[in-house]
Structure 1
Amino acid sequence: MKKALALVMSSALTFSLLTACGNKTEQNASESGGKVKIEFFHYKPEARGTFDKLIEKFEKENPNIDVVNANPPDAATVLKTRAAKRDMPDIVGVGADTTFAELAKAGMFEDVTKAPELNNIQPSYIQMVKDVSGLEQVYAIPYAANADAVIYNKAIFKELGLSVPKTWDEFIAAAEKIKAAGKTPFYFTFKDAWTTLPAYNALAANTQGETFFQDLNQGKTSFEKGYKEATEKFVELLKYGHKDQFGKGYADGNVAFAKGESAMYLQGIWAIPEIKKANPNIELGVFPYPVTNNPEQTKLVSGVDLLFAISKTSKHPKEAKKFIDFLLKEENAKAYMAEQNAFSAIKGLTQEDPTLEGLKESFAKGALVDFPDHYIPPSINLANLLQQLTHDQDVEKFLKTMDAEWEKVKERK
C-alpha cells in the first residue's frame, strides 16, 4: 500500500500541493468567521443536485457548520492523490470497491465498528464493506445500494406474449423470439467500455462460487477455471445485439431504449432515470439476470454504491459525524432514494418506485451478491478487456489474460 501511495504521490504532486493549499485557505477563512467548514467529497456527479438540497437543509438546522459539496471529475484518482499527501476530506463518499479498500487498509478512515449507526444498517451490506476491505473492522457506514438488472420494455413483451424469464434457457428463448419478430433483443453500448460490466458482473457473480476471490488469492483457482461459464455466456449474449453496437455509448443507449429500439437493456437501475428523462411515458420493468437454470439459485447483484467514511485526520470529526447522522435520518435517506433510484442500506426503508417491483423479492429474501469487479483492482482494466472480448470473442485469450494480470498484481504486493 505504501508503494501504491508513493506512486500516486509522485505522479500528481503538483495537483496535491495546490489542492492542499486551497483547502487550508478555505478552512482558515471559515474558522475565522466563527463557522466550521467540513468537506464532503463524493464520486457521484449525478447526485450532486440531491446533495445540494440536503446540504442546504442541514445548514439551516446547523448554522454554525458549512458543508462543501466536493465532486471533482475522476474522483477516485483525485482522492488517492490527496491520500498520498495526507490531505484527506473530512467525509468521503465512495462505493465499497478497491479504492475504498486501499484507503481503509492504509489507515485513512476512522474505525466505526462499534458505532451505533451500524445497528440500523442491513447486515449484508456491512459484510460487503468488510469483505471488500479484507478487514475485520468496519471503516464506513453503508448508505445506498444499487443493482444490476435487466431492464425491459413492458409494451414489447406484451406485444410478443413474453413473460419475465426465470432461467437462462428462458432468457435466451425470449431473445430468440424477439429477434425472430424483427426486433432487437438487447441494445449494446460498447463504445463506452464500462457498459460491458453490468451483464458480466451478473454472469460471474452467479457462477463463480462464493469463495472465488479468497481461493484465487490462495492459488486454489483461476479465472480460467472459475470464469469460463460466465465468459462463454457473455459471448452468447452478443448474438442478440444490433448493428453498430461498438459505435454506440451509454447516453446513446439510454435514448435508443427509451424510443423502443430494443426489448431489453443489460444495465443497472442507475440507467432508469435517464431512460425516463428521454421518454417519461415508457413502461419499464426490471428483473434479476437469470444466469442459471435453477431460479432458486438466482442472486441479484447488488453492492454498496455509496458509503460514508470519516477521515482519521479530520479536524472536525464531530461535525462530520453530525452530517452523516443527518443523511441517515429516514426522511433524508428517502429523499436520496427517490431522486437517485437507489435502494437504501438502512433497515426498514424500501424503494417505492413501481418500476423496481421486480427486484423487491430478491431484497426481501436476501438473495443478494456483491459486484465481482469490486474485488478486481483498477490496475486490471476489466472493462477494456471485456470490450476487446466483444470484438474478438476469444474466451480462452480473455481468461488467460485475466490470470496473467492477476499474477502481476500479486507480485506487486
Structure 2
Amino acid sequence: MKTSHRALGAALAVLTMTALTSCGSGSGAEPAADGTVTLKYLVDNGQGSVDTAKAMTEAFMKANPKIKIETETRPPGSEGDNIVKTRLSTGDMTDVFAYNSGSLLQALNPAQTLVDLAGDPVIKNVQKDFLPVVSQGDHVFGVPSGTALGGGILYNRKVYEKLGLQVPKTWDEFMANNEKIKAAGIAPVISTFKDTWTSQLFVLGDFYNVQAAVPNFAADYTAGKAKFATTPAALAGFQHLADVKAKGYLNEGFGSATADQGMKMLVEGKGAHYPMLSAQVPPLVDSMPQAATDVGFFGIPGTDPAKNGATLWEPGGVYIPKTTKNLDAAKKFLAFVASPAATEAVSKVVQPSGPYRITGAKLPDDAVQVAKDLQAYIDKSATAPALEFLSPVKGPSLEQITVAVGSGLTPAAEGAAQYDKDVEKQAKQLGLAGW
C-alpha cells in the first residue's frame, strides 16, 4: 500500500519558477495534417494508476477519435515528486499529468505553473467540497481522478450482526461495543504496529471531529497558533489510542502484527474493528471475496452524535501545465475525466475503494461495502479532508509516537506534546510564518 504511506505522510518541497504562458515551450505534438492531436499524459507507475489511466484514455479516445493520448509513467514517492517539479521548472511537462491534491499540490507553485480552471466548464461536474484541495485562493487547477478514501474504522459486519450491535455515533458508544465484543471472545480493536504507519489512524482519522469542534484548527495549526496538546479536540485522537490499550481491547501480538495480518483477522471475524484506510479492502476481494460485503466502514466517533461524520483522504487530481501546446484538447480530456462516463469506464477495471468526487457518478452495484458506507457520509455532507490536505505541516515522527502511545508506553498528553515539538521542526524547515 505505497499510496497509503504517501497519503499518510510525504515530504514537501517548494518550487519557484517564472510564469509561463499557455503557448510557451513544452511537450505536445503539433496537430497532424489530418487534424489529429496527440496529448501526452504522465501518471505514476502504480498498477492502480496505470489501469485507471488506461481505462480513461481508451474511453476518451473512442469518443474523441481526433485526439490521441500517449501515457507516460514515473515512479511514486519523493522520486516521482522530483520528476514532476523538474519537468515543470524546465518546461518539459506533458500536456496533462496526474499528481496529488492538497498540500503537495501547493508545493508546485500552481499559480505560476498550471492552467487556472476557475469558472471553466471543465470543472462543472466536480463536487464543490472537493475543489479546495485543488485550489489556491480563487484559482482552481485540477479535476479529481480516482476515488476518495475513508480514514476511520473498518469493522466486521457479521460480528456486529451476531452480537446485535449498532454502528456507534459517539466514542462512548464505540467503547461500549468494544466491551460486548471482548465478552464474546473476539478482539475488539486490531492494531498492527509492526507496520508503524498503521498506528496513525486514530489520530489522523479523527480530524473530522477536530474540524467540527474547532473549524479554524488547520489554519491556526499551520500558523503555529494551535497545538495538539493544548486543543482538547485534537488531543482526543491520542487519547483514543491510549484508551483502547488501557481497556485491554487490542489483539494479542499487536506489536508484531502487520497490516496484511490485520486485514485477514478482520475479514475472518477474529477482530471486530481496525482503524485503517478503506483502500485496504479492494485488493483482498480476489482472495477473500467476503471482504467486499462483510467489511464496513464508519468514521471515528466523536462526542456529539448530531455531528457524526468521517475523514476523507481526497483523490489526486489531473492538471494542465501552462506549457502545453494543446490547451483545447487538454481541457477536453479533463472535462471527460470529470464526468460520470469516465468513472463508469474506470469502475469496470478498478474496484473503487470509495466514492467518486464527480456529480452524477455512481458506484457500481458490486462496489465494496466500505465504498458504499463512505458514499453515505458524502451524501449527507458529513466529511472533512484529512489535515494533510489542508496543511503542509506533518511531523516525520508521528508513527513512532503513536506506536508508543498505542502500546501504553507514553501517556496520550505526553505523546501529543512530543508531536507538537516534532511538527515545529518541520514547520521551521518549510519557512512558515508564526514558528
The TM-score with structure 1 as length reference comes to 0.82
- In the superposition, relative to structure 1, how do residues 186 and 83 fare at CA in structure 2: closer, same or farther (>3 Å)? farther
Identical columns (%): 22
Find 1:343's aligned residue among 355, 362, 378: 355
Determine the structure 2 residue equivalent to 1:20. none
**Following the alignment from structure 1 to structure 2, what is the Cα–Cα distance between the partners of residues 139 and 86?**
17
Decide whether the 8 Å contact of 1:254 with 1:274 is kept in 2: no
| Letter paired with 2:230 | K
- In the superposition, relative to structure 1, how do residues 173 and 335 fare at CA in structure 2: closer, same or farther (>3 Å)? farther
* Pairwise CA distance, 1:71: 4.6
3-state SS, counterpart of residue 286 of structure 1: strand
2:159 corresponds to 1:156: yes
- In the superposition, relative to structure 1, how do residues 252 and 89 fare at CA in structure 2: closer, same or farther (>3 Å)? farther
* Pairwise CA distance, 1:63: 5.6
- In the superposition, relative to structure 1, how do residues 162 and 373 fare at CA in structure 2: closer, same or farther (>3 Å)? same
**Following the alignment from structure 1 to structure 2, what is the Cα–Cα distance between the partners of residues 195 and 82?**
33
Determine the structure 1 residue equivalent to 2:48. 46
Decide whether the 8 Å contact of 1:38 with 1:316 is kept in 2: no
**Following the alignment from structure 2 to structure 1, what is the Cα–Cα distance between the partners of residues 328 and 30?**
20
- In the superposition, relative to structure 1, how do residues 354 and 393 fare at CA in structure 2: closer, same or farther (>3 Å)? same
Decide whether the 8 Å contact of 2:388 with 2:394 is kept in 1: no
Instruction: Give the aligned length.
Output: 391
Determine the structure 1 residue equivalent to 2:269. 260
| Letter paired with 1:386 | T
2:411 corresponds to 1:408: no
Per chain length, whose mean CA-contact separation is higher, i.e. which structure has more relative contact order (CA < 8 Å, sep 6+)? 2
**Following the alignment from structure 2 to structure 1, what is the Cα–Cα distance between the partners of residues 66 and 271?**
50
Determine the structure 2 residue equivalent to 1:390. 406
**Following the alignment from structure 2 to structure 1, what is the Cα–Cα distance between the partners of residues 45 and 219?**
28
**Following the alignment from structure 2 to structure 1, what is the Cα–Cα distance between the partners of residues 88 and 270?**
45
Worse-matched range after superposition: 307-316 or 87-96: 87-96
**Following the alignment from structure 1 to structure 2, what is the Cα–Cα distance between the partners of residues 216 and 42?**
31
Decide whether the 8 Å contact of 2:59 with 2:345 is kept in 1: no
* Pairwise CA distance, 1:44: 5.3
| Bigger proportion of residues as helix | 1
Decide whether the 8 Å contact of 1:258 with 1:276 is kept in 2: no
- In the superposition, relative to structure 1, how do residues 229 and 346 fare at CA in structure 2: closer, same or farther (>3 Å)? same
| Letter paired with 1:377 | P
3-state SS, counterpart of residue 156 of structure 1: helix
Find 2:389's aligned residue among 371, 374, 386: 374
**Following the alignment from structure 1 to structure 2, what is the Cα–Cα distance between the partners of residues 379 and 221?**
14
Decide whether the 8 Å contact of 2:155 with 2:274 is kept in 1: yes
Determine the structure 2 residue equivalent to 1:296. 306
| Letter paired with 2:128 | P
Determine the structure 2 residue equivalent to 1:18. none
**Following the alignment from structure 2 to structure 1, what is the Cα–Cα distance between the partners of residues 325 and 379?**
40
**Following the alignment from structure 1 to structure 2, what is the Cα–Cα distance between the partners of residues 196 and 93?**
29
Decide whether the 8 Å contact of 2:156 with 2:294 is kept in 1: yes
**Following the alignment from structure 1 to structure 2, what is the Cα–Cα distance between the partners of residues 222 and 327?**
39
- In the superposition, relative to structure 1, how do residues 29 and 240 fare at CA in structure 2: closer, same or farther (>3 Å)? farther
- Provide the alpha-carbon RMSD of the alignment: 3.2
**Following the alignment from structure 1 to structure 2, what is the Cα–Cα distance between the partners of residues 141 and 289?**
25
| Letter paired with 1:91 | V
Aligned 1:8-407 pairs, distance under 5 A: 36-42=38-44, 45-60=47-62, 61-62=64-65, 64-74=67-77, 75-83=80-88, 85-105=90-110, 107-130=112-135, 133=136, 135-143=137-145, 144-208=147-211, 209-226=214-231, 227-238=234-245, 239-282=248-291, 283-337=293-347, 339-352=351-364, 353=367, 355=369, 356-377=371-392, 380-381=395-396, 382-391=398-407, 392-407=409-424
Decide whether the 8 Å contact of 1:148 with 1:300 is kept in 2: yes
The TM-score with structure 2 as length reference comes to 0.78
Determine the structure 2 residue equivalent to 1:10. none
* Ranges in structure 1 where 5+ consecutive residues have no aligned partner: 7-22
